[in-house]
C-alpha cells in the first residue's frame, strides 16, 4: 500500500494506492473501541473496489463512487490496484493510526505459531 497525505484545515487528506490485495486487516484495529475504526472518512474511489464492514452490515464501494464511512467500521477487503482520495479529521485519525502502528509492530515481531 502506498499513501501520500497532508494536513488541510484540520483534516488529513490522503491519496492511497493498493499495490497488493488486502484481505481482512481487522487485527490492526484491535484495541480501538469495538476493535473498529472510530474515525469518519469521506472519499472517492478512482479505480478498483473496497469492502467495509460495520457491526450490522457490509458496504462495497466501487470505482467512480463517493463514500462516507461512519465511525465503527473496518476494512474487510481492498482489491489490488484500488486508488482513492480520502478526507479524515486529523486528530481522530492520529489516535487511530497510533493503535494501528502499534499492532503492526507487534505482528511484525511475533513468531509464527
Cα separation, 61 vs 51, in Å, equals: 6
What is the spatial distance between Cα 87 and Cα 16, in angstroms, rounded to a whole number?
A: 11
* pLDDT tens profile 86-99: 999 999 999 999 99
Q: Do residues 72 and 59 make contact, with C-beta atoms less than 8 angstroms apart?
A: no
* Residue 1 CB partners (closer than 8 Å, separation 6+): 16, 17, 18, 19, 20, 22
Q: How high is the pLDDT of residue 113?
A: 59
Rounded CA-CA distance 68/58 in Å is 13
- CA–CA separation, 84 vs 66, rounded Å? 9
Low-confidence ranges of the chain (pLDDT < 50): none
What is the C-alpha separation between 72 and 69, in angstroms, rounded? 8
Q: What is residue 57's predicted lDDT score, i.e. its pLDDT?
A: 97
Domains of the chain: 2-101 (2.60.120.10)
What are the residue ranges of helices labelled H in 1-113? 90-109
pLDDT at 1: 84
The pLDDT score that the predictor gives to residue 35 is 96
Amino acid at each position: 500500500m502506498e499513501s501520500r497525505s497532508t494536513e488541510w484545515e484540520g483534516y488529513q487528506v490522503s491519496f492511497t494506492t493498493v499495490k497488493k490485495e488486502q484481505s481482512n486487516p481487522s487485527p490492526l484495529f484491535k484495541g480501538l473501541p469495538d476493535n473498529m475504526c472510530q474515525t469518519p472518512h469521506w472519499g472517492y474511489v478512482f479505480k478498483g473496489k473496497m469492502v467495509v464492514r460495520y457491526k450490522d452490515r457490509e458496504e462495497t464501494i466501487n470505482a467512480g463512487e463517493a463514500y462516507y464511512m461512519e465511525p465503527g467500521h473496518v476494512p474487510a477487503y481492498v482489491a489490488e490496484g484500488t486508488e482513492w482520495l480520502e478526507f479524515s479529521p486529523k486528530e481522530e485519525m492520529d489516535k487511530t493510526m497510533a493503535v494501528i502502528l502499534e499492532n503492526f509492530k507487534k505482528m511484525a515481531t511475533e513468531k509464527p505459531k
